[in-house]
Amino acid sequence: MAEREPYRISGRTGDWEVVIGLEVHAQVASNAKLFSGAATSFGAGPNEQVSLVDAAMPGMLPVINRYCVEQAVRTGLGLKAQINLKSRFDRKNYFYPDLPAGYQISQFKDPVVGEGVLTVERDDGSTFTVGIERLHLEQDAGKSIHDMDPNWTYVDLNRAGVALMEIVSKPDMRSPEEAGAYVKRLRALVRWLGTCDGDMEKGNLRADVNVSVRKPGGELGTRCEIKNVNSMRFIQQSIVYEARRQVEILEDGGKIDQETRLFDAVKGETRSMRSKEEAHDYRYFPDPDLLPLELDPDWVKRIQDSLPELPDEMAERLQSQYGLSAYDAGVLVTDAERASLYETLAKKHDPKLVANTVTQSLLTFANAHNEEVTADGVLHIDTKALSAYLALIEDGTVSSRTAKELFEGMVAKEGTPAQIVEARGLRQVTDTGAIERVVDSIIAANPDKAEAAKTRPQAIGWFVGQVMRETGGKANPAAVNEILKVKLGL
Ligand code: ADP
Ligand code: MG
């Protein structure tokens, strides 16, 4: 494979390299909050899911939710990370109306999960690794609503106290594409493990994007942190904009102020929020209401033993077991359900044909209907229909060309695949007599071309095209080639 061109920003003084590190906030998949029993379901009415603890009523005490800790540990193990058997919760103090306690409970010095690593695949199938610095547990804040009333700000505390995992990467990404690929991989992993649903539209996974620039291979530059970016596209757009902005400042002889910035999706630009000098002093200290968190090694081991095969392991297995390309394997393990559907079908059908069907026809269909591929297919195109469809291609009833039409018929709910083949007349002509008759008539009508083909065998392609046209794409291509070779004397 050719060497990949590194991502560069060209400026007046030469090329620049961009360095990216991400802090991803992933909402823990749990029915209850991190320190209270209040519910966490999406779409509840304002303040319907708020306990006295979440509202910070005097005298209320937090009680750690064991399941949320288990989810964090499971994620850490999925990241092949160090699990810290002793960790601690700290108070991060700041004032905000949607933070009734006046502090957020987080983990500062001693996070539950330490260093790990994630192998990430680029679109072309090549891979790179991103170091994980840490994963810690913390509470989410509530939400201030400024646009419901001209005079009042409303506060909704449903989110207050919901468990978040903050997953901090090392500054190991070197292009917007790599940052996007990392978030995709991380999202796939947490969904795979069932520890976060990864729904970015609901805000269940969002990222703080740290960006700096430097001359290729030079010292790390000063970074800016773009807060709370909530879509894959915005993450990449904000990096492109921010890196360009920093290059311009540096080339004009300026220096980068370490600051927190916001991404304005409408204008496609980042804007300063606060500089380092204005940064909060959070006065972290250990939360006196919570004992240090101590994990039983046997409990961690049980979680480890219950982990499913991980996506990158499965991607490798799919390549060796079924002969898939790295790209196809990568697309399939993006989601556990999709991967499971693949394997169900690949056990009974040609693995490469199944890969094409799932990653192309079925994914296109799913996207068009805003649906996800599940272990049983998508909407009415279930495993039974897919299996029948694949069998019809494999036994030669339909050609790979007419298979497209057959799939269209399935999308349009025209019946079972077998019924569609009959109704649409898609049956492939393997009857050699019928193909021979078509070949004969084409050769008879084009004696000059038939003569020329004798000295220029590539010209057979033209004849194949004619036969296909004549038969509406239904002739078996292998049979057509065979017969043409004989009749043209090649
Ligand atoms: P803080 O606690 O102030 O946010 P951290 O050292 O924890 O600082 O870093 C936060 C994030 O910034 C990490 O994801 C890290 O990879 C990233 N980062 C650190 N230095 C740089 C840099 N020079 N350029 C880009 N990203 C960086
Ligand atoms: Mg930070």
Over the stretch 232-245, which tens digit does the pLDDT of each residue have? 999 999 999 999 99
437 phi/psi in degrees, rounded to 5: -65, -40
Cα dist from 234 to 185, 261, 366, whole Å = 17, 14, 23
Structure tokens at 24: 């991803």
* Cα separation of the two ends of the chain: 36
Burial of 79 per CB tally in 10 Å (0-12, 13-18, 19+) = buried
Q: What is the pLDDT of residue 2?
A: 53
| Residue 32 near residue 70 (C-beta atoms within 8 A) | no
| 134 Cβ below 6 A of ligand 1 | no
Nearest CA to ligand 1 atom 5: 168
Q: Could you tell me which residue, 346 or 1, shows the higher pLDDT?
A: 346
The structural domains of the chain, ordered by start, are: 8-302 (no CATH), 309-424 (no CATH), 432-488 (1.10.10)
Q: What is the mean pLDDT of residues 246-252?
A: 97
- Helix crossing, 477-488 with 432-445: angle to 10°? 50
Burial of 448 per CB tally in 10 Å (0-12, 13-18, 19+) = exposed
Over the stretch 31-83, which tens digit does the pLDDT of each residue have? 999 999 999 998 899 999 999 999 999 999 999 999 999 999 999 999 999 99
Look over the chain and give the mean of its residue pLDDT values, rounded to a whole number: 93
Q: What is the pLDDT of residue 1?
A: 44
Cα distance between residue 278 and residue 281, in whole Å: 9
| 168 Cβ below 6 A of ligand 1 | yes
Over the stretch 110-151, which tens digit does the pLDDT of each residue have? 999 999 999 988 877 788 999 999 999 999 999 999 999 999
| Residue 460 near residue 453 (C-beta atoms within 8 A) | yes
How many Å lie between the centroid of ligand 1 and the Cα of residue 21?
A: 6
Cα dist from 376 to 134, 195, 345, 417, whole Å = 36, 22, 10, 17
| 223 Cβ below 6 A of ligand 1 | yes
| 169 Cβ below 6 A of ligand 1 | yes
Bridge partners for 143 per DSSP? 156
Q: What is the mean pLDDT of residues 192-212?
A: 95
Quick one: pLDDT band at residue 280, thresholds 50, 70, 90? Answer: confident
Nearest CA to ligand 1 atom 19: 171
Q: Among the residues of 395-431, which ranges form H helices?
A: 400-411, 417-424
165-179, 375-389, 390-404, 474-488: the lowest-pLDDT one: 474-488
| Residue 429 near residue 474 (C-beta atoms within 8 A) | yes
Cα dist from 473 to 404, 441, 445, whole Å = 11, 17, 20
Cα dist from 74 to 21, 299, 481, whole Å = 23, 11, 56
A 10 A CB-CB count for 350 gives 15
How many Å lie between the centroid of ligand 2 and the Cα of residue 107?
A: 13
Could you give the percent of the chain with pLDDT greater than 90?
Answer: 80
| 212 Cβ below 6 A of ligand 1 | yes
Rounded to 5°, the CA angle 90-31-59 comes to 45
Q: What is the pLDDT of residue 265?
A: 92
How many Å lie between the centroid of ligand 1 and the Cα of residue 20?
A: 8
Question: Per-residue DSSP letters for 336-363?
Answer: HHHHHHHHHHHTTS-HHHHHHIIIIIIH
Cα dist from 398 to 55, 77, 118, 418, whole Å = 64, 46, 43, 10
Over the stretch 309-360, which tens digit does the pLDDT of each residue have? 998 899 999 999 999 998 899 889 988 899 999 999 999 999 999 999 999 9
Return the ligand 1 atom nearest residue 172 CA.
16
Quick one: pLDDT band at residue 471, thresholds 50, 70, 90? Answer: confident
Quick one: pLDDT band at residue 275, thresholds 50, 70, 90? Answer: confident
Question: Per-residue DSSP letters for 174-240?
Answer: -SHHHHHHHHHHHHHHHHHHTS----TTTTSEEEEEEEEEESTTS-----EEEEEE-SHHHHHHHHH
pLDDT at 104 over 90: yes
Which is nearest to 40 in space by CA: 160, 165, 136?
Answer: 160
